[in-house]
Structure 1
Amino acid sequence: MSTRLPAPPRRHPPAGPAPEAAERLRRLVASVARGDRTAFPPLYRALAAPVHGVVLRTLRCPAQAEEVAQEVLLEVWRTAAAYRPDRGTVTTWALTIAHRRAVDRVRAVRAATDRELRLAHRDEPIHESVHASAADEAERILAGRRVQSALGRLGSPQRQPLVLAYYGGYTQSEIARLLDLPLGTVKTRMRDGLRRLRTALADERDE
């Protein structure tokens, strides 16, 4: 079975009845978890574009995004047994993995760059802008990790639409279709989730 990530298609709103699509992905993940290799290609095709989109928005480098997206999809394959339907849809689960992997790559690239700069300027003072850039990047990464931690404290009804919106780039209307919910319910859950997220982040800063 080839694990080469295809060129990501442009993301479109989910087609077909959302509950049926979500159930199909759940069945595919369950089959992959049981070792059914034939179930992975359709799962791969369904998740490739949204996963790639999340990674690309974080890395802003097409070559690295393709590489990391492939790693994410392979992780989905290897850890399919870890998926828990009661904690969210398959798409939400995969996009959360994608965001974590992308942030890890940013951190790794920054660490490697800093090491190279230290070696290159061992006998020279590092320009102030380099320090500022590294500090800004570190702050962005730490903020991302805090958000992930805070999201973990939310209940599934609030967490799912926020993950789909901010990691997956879906609109509220698309999220309503994916989760088979009225648009008003999605808006309410997102508003409540954001309120709780702000509270959780404030609590972390005070700790």
Structure 2
Amino acid sequence: MELYSRAERADDAALLAGVAVGDDAATTAFVRRYQSRVFGLALSITRDRGLAEDVSQEAFLRAWRAASGYDARRGSALTWLLTITRNLAIDVVRARRLLPVDGEALERLVGETLEDDPRSPENAAGIELESARARARLREIPPAQARAVVLATILGCTAAEISRREDIPLGTAKTRLRAGLRALRSGLVEESP
């Protein structure tokens, strides 16, 4: 017990040095010291408790593997660990959003997203009509614009993420998104009774 209490009183650099050489007491103390902050950050990014637990565990594993390379001159241990956590959580969220969005997959994705809400049967006919109109209008605009609209509105991608996914310049991604939304909106307004 004395070993753990000594490790818990150690500063971060000493703990990480212990983690780097496989010291169980230092590793336990390091995890105990930062587990709530790591989990809190992971949860705030992923918004999924189970996923946040996985990200937290992986963050501590990566910290354990990279502990020998930690340099206190570059920042605190907490900043270093939270940077690892943040990057992992963002990667996990992005990976979950990476769905195919061309051809039939685009149609399925739009169809599933625009389906009627089963909790409101009184609105089902109106929602189905709007969904069908939106899907039809998406098929009428250029495919590159339709992909940009679906990526932004349904998958929540930013213009920068669309740029990376489509391998196009950021300005082109913004233009496609703006033009696609404008075409979609104008087509839906023209069809309104």
Question: How does the TM-score come out when normalised to structure 2?
Answer: 0.53
Alpha-carbon spacing, 1:83–1:70, altered in 2? closer, same or farther (3 Å)? same
Q: 1:125 to 1:33 in 2, by over 3 A?
A: closer
RMSD between aligned alpha carbons? 3.0
Q: In the alignment, which of 15, 32, 52 is matched to residue 28 of structure 1?
A: 15
Quote the residue 2:105 is aligned against. 121
Size of the aligned set, in residue pairs, is 119
Distance 1:99 1:91, change over 3 A: same
Aligned equivalent of 1:133, options 129, 147, 153: 153
**How does 1:64-143 map onto structure 2 within 5 Å?**
64-111=51-98, 114-115=99-100, 121=105, 126=110, 127=135, 130-133=150-153, 136-139=156-159
Tell me: higher relative CO, structure 1 or 2? Use CA pairs within 8 A at least 6 residues apart.
1
Partner of 1:62: 49
Distance of 2:85 and 2:75 partners within structure 1: 15
Sequence identity (%)? 32
Q: 1:124 to 1:60 in 2, by over 3 A?
A: closer
Show structure 2 runs of 5+ residues with no match: 1-7, 111-134, 139-148, 163-193
Q: In the TM superposition, what is the alpha-carbon distance from 1:52 to its structure 2 partner?
A: 0.7
State the distance in 1 between where 2:109 and 2:16 align.
Answer: 53
* Matches of 1:140 and 1:46, distance apart in 2: 36
Q: Which amino acid aligns with 1:121?
A: A
Letter in 1 for 2:34: L
What's the TM-score, normalizing by structure 1? 0.49
